[in-house]
Amino acid sequence: MARTVHGQPLTYLDNAATAQRPSSVLFAMHLFSVFTNANIHRGVHELSAEATRLYDGAREQVRGFLNAGSADEIIFTKGCTESLNLVASSYGSLVLRPGDEVVISEMEHHSNIVPWQMACDRAGAKIRAIPVTPAGELDLDAFRGMLSERTKVVSIVHVSNALGTVNPVREISAMARGVGATVVVDGAQAAPHLAIDVQDLGADFYAIAPHKMYGPMGIGALYGRRELLAAMPPYQGGGDMIRSVSLSHTEYAEPPARFEAGTPNVAGAVGLGAAIEYLGQVAEEPMRAIGVHERELLAEATERLEAIPGVTVIGKAREKAAVLSFVMDCAHPHDIGTILDSEGVAVRAGHHCCMPLMTKLGLAATARASFGIYNTSEDVDRLAQAVLKVREVFA
Q: Which of 80, 120, 330, 353 is catalytic?
A: 353
Cα 198 to Cα 173: distance, rounded to the nearest angstrom: 11
Task: Calculate ∠ Cα 114-198-91, nearest 5°.
Answer: 40
List strand residue ranges (DSSP E) for 176-298, in order: 182-186, 205-208, 220-224, 242-245, 250-252
Asked whether the beta carbons of 317 and 165 are under 8 A apart, the reply is yes
353 is catalytic: yes
Helix 333-342 × helix 377-394 angle, to 10°: 120
* SS3 state at 112: helix
Q: Return phi, psi of residue 232, to 5°.
A: -85, 145
Cα 369 to Cα 158: distance, rounded to the nearest angstrom: 19
Task: Calculate ∠ Cα 264-268-273, nearest 5°.
Answer: 115
Residues 6+ apart with CB under 8 A from 144: 175
Please give the span between the terminal C-alpha atoms of the chain, in angstroms, as a whole number: 32
Task: Calculate ∠ Cα 335-341-342, nearest 5°.
Answer: 95
Cα 206 to Cα 223: distance, rounded to the nearest angstrom: 5
Cα 340 to Cα 328: distance, rounded to the nearest angstrom: 13
Residue 280's nearest CA partner among 208, 374, 197, 195 is: 195
Q: What separation in angstroms does the CA of 175 have from each of 92, 157, 178, 223, 372?
A: 20, 16, 5, 21, 32
Residue 116's nearest CA partner among 154, 160, 143 is: 154
Q: Return phi, psi of residue 31, to 5°.
A: -60, -45
User: What are the catalytic residues?
Assistant: 353
